[in-house]
Structure 1
Amino acid sequence: MKRIKFTESQIVKAIKEHENGKNVHDLCRELGISTAAFYKWRQRYGGMEVKELSKLKALEEENARLKK
């Protein structure tokens, strides 16, 4: 099964659409993902802006580098 990779900005955009009133099932159908995947995204990236997300990614990369 082919795995589709979404960028963080696409994930944040999808979460924003849901917050603006779009149905989860319709949104998941459009993106081609399961509802479980969407809820995992929402748990991790909910309430974030793209700017905050880039800071989070930089911190995660730095932590991974420091653990080595």
Structure 2
Amino acid sequence: MTQRRRRHTPERIIRKLREGEKLLGQGSELPEVLKHLEITEATWYRWRNQYGGMKSEDAKRLKELERENARLKKMVAEQALDIDMLKELNRGNW
């Protein structure tokens, strides 16, 4: 049986991290916590590094900024292509 990959929202990740920290604080072992949260150890540490001290609002804002950054990068790339195309046309290489 293959495991289906899930996409967790930042808010859900932060909730799971908090729940995991709470369980660890109550004396549960990490493997038990990971099984309860249905994640791997690698995922746990990756999430902790990425979202460790964040609140849900911070995670939402981070995702918004990442989307905006991607949009702006795309715009810059398109402008660079337009400039290159205009330079080629100006040189008469068509």
**If the length of structure 2 is used for normalisation, what is the TM-score?**
0.63
CA distance in 2, matches of 1:10, 1:29: 16
Which 4+ runs in 1 deviate beyond 6 A? Answer: none
Partner of 1:42 in structure 2? 48
Gaps of 5+ in 1: none
Pick closer, same or farther for the CA change 1:47–1:37 going to 2, 3 Å.
Answer: same
Give the structure with higher Rg (CA).
2
How many residues are matched?
A: 68
Which of 31, 55, 64 is the aligned partner of 1:58? 64
Overall identity of the aligned pairs, in %: 40
The answer to whether the 8 Å contact 2:11/2:60 transfers is: no
* Residue type at the aligned position of 1:44: Q
- Which structure is richer in relative contact order (CA contacts within 8 A, separation 6 or more)? 1
Gaps of 5+ in 2: 75-94
